[in-house]
Structure 1
């Protein structure tokens, strides 16, 4: 009798657990699919979280937060520009060397600039990145962007409290 009750108890538990799992699994699968979709919908092809400001650096082979880890070059005609989408950004290799990566405004792909020797400008097609009072980025003979050579945005306003 005890064995029969024990067997009946074990069978009941196994059947009820299986039924419980079958009811929960589709709901868990839906939730996991939603989570995976949300996590991946904001990433680029290299896995960089674009909404957090990360972009893929082909030079350093990693995601970088461009607004913090790059030298900002402002449109030469408007140095007080506060619209970050109009700026160019320069990333240098972590190992130093003769390569620079430029992120132009309103483009998804960066361009690698190469210099032959230290002290010379980095070049890409008819573009030149010249170290002078920071950096100047020229296309042909025309200066398109320039910056002070510091990482991150420069402070353009006053720190005084206005009345």
Structure 2
């Protein structure tokens, strides 16, 4: 019995030396150095790693039929001309550009549109998908 235990422990020691049994904390850094397992993602506007769930402006998923409730976060540039939107279903954030529409600000990019009339609302292809 002692011999089997010694062989097993030697095997585990060998595996740890060659890296199979070793887990490296923070080894999941992305190309910007952000650690995803710690909740960090890269912000194009801030040029830094941020935690989306810690941002001031959070939007909640509108679709009540989904099995889970996702959130989106919004960050604005210093001059408020750009809005960076973080969506769970997209690998990178989206940068929307502000337009003026009859005195009301709307940020757009492709099929996405963010407005701040009566709270923040994010639409995709004119369909409301997130709101504050």
Query: Where is the helix percentage greater, Structure 1 or Structure 2?
Result: 1
Residues 111 and 128 (structure 1 numbering): CA distance in 2 closer, same or farther, change over 3 Å?
A: same
Residues 111, 126 of structure 2: 8 Å contact kept: no
Count of residues paired in the alignment:
109
TM-score, length of structure 2 as denominator length: 0.70
* Contact 2:82–2:96 under 8 Å retained in 1: yes
Corresponding residue SS for 2:34: coil
**CA–CA separation in structure 2 for the residues paired with 1:56 and 1:132:** 28
TM-score normalised over the length of structure 1: 0.58
Residue 74 in 1 paired to residue 57 in 2?
Answer: no
Question: Rg: which structure is higher?
Answer: 1
- Tell me which of 120, 142, 153 is aligned to 2:105: 120
Corresponding residue SS for 2:129: strand
User: What RMSD over aligned residues (CA atoms) do the two structures have, in Å?
Assistant: 2.6
SS at match of 1:51: helix
Structure 2 counterpart of 1:101:
84
Whose strand proportion is higher, 1 or 2?
2
Partner of residue 24 from structure 2, selected from 30, 38, 41 = 38
Alpha-carbon distance between aligned partners in 2 of 1:137 and 1:115, rounded to the nearest angstrom: 13
- The alpha carbon displacement at 1:56 in A equals 0.2
In structure 2, distance between residues paired with 1:88 and 1:70: 11
Q: Report deviation, 1:83.
A: 4.5
Q: Distance in 2 between matches of 1:138 and 1:108?
A: 18
Give 3-state SS (helix, strand or coil) of 2:99's partner. coil
Structure 2 residue aligned with 1:137, among 98, 122, 127? 122
Q: Distance in 2 between matches of 1:60 and 1:90?
A: 12
Q: Does residue 78 of structure 2 align to residue 88 of structure 1?
A: no
Q: Deviations over 1:93-116 (max 9, x none)?
A: 2x2321011112222111100013
Structure 1: gaps of 5 or more residues: 1-29, 148-163
Q: What residue in structure 1 maps to residue 33 of structure 2?
A: 47
